[in-house]
Copies of this chain bind each other. A is one copy, B any other.
Amino acid sequence: MQLLSNEMSAYLKNSSWIRKMFEAGIELRKEFGADNVYDFSLGNPDLPPPAKVQATLHKIADGILDPFSLGYMPNGGYVEFRETLAGKLSKEQGVSIPMSNVIATCGAAGGLNVFFRTVLEKGDEVIVPCPYFMEYNFYTSNFGGKLVPVMSKDFTFELDVEAIKAAITPKCRALILNSPNNPTGQIYSRQEISELAKVMLEKSQEYGRPIYLIADEPYRFLNYDNMDIPSLFELYPYSVVIGSYSKSLSLAGERIGYIAVNPAVEDVAPLMGGLIMSNRILGFVNAPALAQKILIDCIEEEVDMNVYLKRRNAMAEVLDRAGIEYTMPKGAFYFFPKAPGGDEGKFMDALVRNHVLAVPGVGFGCPGYFRMTFCVSEDVIYRSSDAVCKAAAECRN
Chain B residues, CB < 8 A from A61: 54, 57-58, 61
Contact present for A46 and B58 (CB under 8 Å)? no
Question: Which residues from chain A sit less than 8 Å from chain B, CB to CB?
Answer: 1-9, 11-12, 42, 44-49, 51, 53-54, 57-58, 60-62, 64-73, 105-107, 109-114, 117-121, 135, 138-139, 142-144, 204, 208-210, 238, 250-255, 265-268, 270-271, 273-274, 277-278, 280-286, 288-291
Q: How many copies does the complex hold?
A: 2
Supply 17 A–B pairs (Cβ within 8 Å), ascending by A.
Answer: A2-B208, A3-B119, A3-B271, A4-B118, A5-B118, A6-B121, A11-B274, A48-B67, A48-B69, A53-B65, A67-B250, A70-B254, A71-B253, A107-B283, A109-B284, A142-B143, A253-B289
Q: Which of B53, B270, B290 contacts A4 (CB 8 A)?
A: B270
- Which of A2, A114, A251, A283: most chain B CB closer than 10 A? A283
Contact present for A4 and B57 (CB under 8 Å)? no
Contact present for A69 and B57 (CB under 8 Å)? no
Chain B residues, CB < 8 A from A3: 119, 210, 265, 267-268, 270-271, 274
Contact present for B281 and A138 (CB under 8 Å)? yes
Q: A9-B270, A135-B281 are in contact. List 11 more A-B contacts (CB 8 A).
A: A3-B119, A5-B120, A49-B64, A57-B57, A67-B250, A106-B255, A113-B283, A138-B281, A142-B282, A254-B290, A284-B284
Contact present for A274 and B4 (CB under 8 Å)? yes
Q: How far is A209 from B210 in the complex, measured between Cα atoms in Å?
A: 42
A339 to chain B, nearest CB (A): 26
Q: Which of B112, B113, B274 contacts A8 (CB 8 A)?
A: B274
